[in-house]
Amino acid sequence: MLIITETWLHTQFPDATVQLAGRTLHRWDRNSDSGKNRGRLCIYVNEGWCNNSTILDKHCSPDLEFMSVRCRPFLPREKAAVVLTAVNIPPDANVNTALSLLHNAINNHQRAHSNGAHIIAGDFNKANLKTVLPKFYQFVKCPTRGENPLGHVYSHIKCAYRAVPLPHLGRSDYLSLLLTPAYTPLCRQTKPTKKTITTWPEDALPRLQDCFEQTQWEAFYHEDLATFVDTVLSYIKYCIGNVEKCIRVFPNQKPWMISQVCTLLRACDSSFRSGDRALYSAARVDQRRGIRWAKVEYKRRIEEQLNNPRQVWQSIQTITN
The pLDDT tens digits for 119-144 are: 998 888 888 898 999 999 988 887 77
Which DSSP string do the residues of 252-303 spell out, in sequence order? T--TT--HHHHHHHHHHHHHHHHT-HHHHHHHHHHHHHHHHHHHHHHHHHHH
Same domain membership, residue 54 and residue 163: yes
Same domain membership, residue 105 and residue 15: yes
Is 317 part of a structural domain of the chain?
A: yes
Same domain membership, residue 230 and residue 144: no
Residue 8 has pLDDT above 60, yes or no: no
Please give the average per-residue pLDDT across 262-287, as a whole number.
87
Same domain membership, residue 99 and residue 171: yes
Residue 23 has pLDDT above 70, yes or no: yes
| Whole-number pLDDT of residue 187 | 67
11: confidence class by pLDDT, cuts 50, 70, 90: low
Residue 224 has pLDDT above 90, yes or no: no
DSSP annotation of 202 reads T
Number of residues that make up the chain:
321
| Whole-number pLDDT of residue 3 | 61
Residue 10 has pLDDT above 60, yes or no: no
9: confidence class by pLDDT, cuts 50, 70, 90: low
Residue 1 has pLDDT above 80, yes or no: no
Same domain membership, residue 130 and residue 112: yes
Alpha-carbon gap, residue 218 to 77, rounded angstroms: 56
The phi, psi pair for 195, rounded to 5°, reads -140, 135
| Whole-number pLDDT of residue 5 | 58
| Whole-number pLDDT of residue 68 | 93
Contact indicator for 105, 66 with CB cutoff of 8 Å: yes
Same domain membership, residue 142 and residue 33: yes
159: confidence class by pLDDT, cuts 50, 70, 90: confident
Q: Which residues contact 100 (CB under 8 A, 6 or more apart)?
A: 132
**Across all residues in the chain, what is the average pLDDT?**
80
Please give the average per-residue pLDDT across 273-287, as a whole number.
87
Contact indicator for 51, 81 with CB cutoff of 8 Å: no
**CB-count burial class (<10 Å; 0-12, 13-18, 19+) for 271:** buried
Same domain membership, residue 75 and residue 14: yes
Q: Kindly report, residue by residue over 61-115, the tens digit of the pLDDT.
A: 888 889 999 998 865 567 788 999 999 888 888 999 999 999 999 999 999 888 8
118: confidence class by pLDDT, cuts 50, 70, 90: very high
Is 45 part of a structural domain of the chain?
A: yes
Same domain membership, residue 54 and residue 160: yes
Alpha-carbon gap, residue 131 to 178, rounded angstroms: 25
Q: Provide the residue range defining the domain that includes 91.
A: 2-183
Is 190 part of a structural domain of the chain?
A: no
Q: How far is CA 254 from CA 73, 288, 295, 309, in A?
A: 18, 15, 10, 25
| Whole-number pLDDT of residue 22 | 84
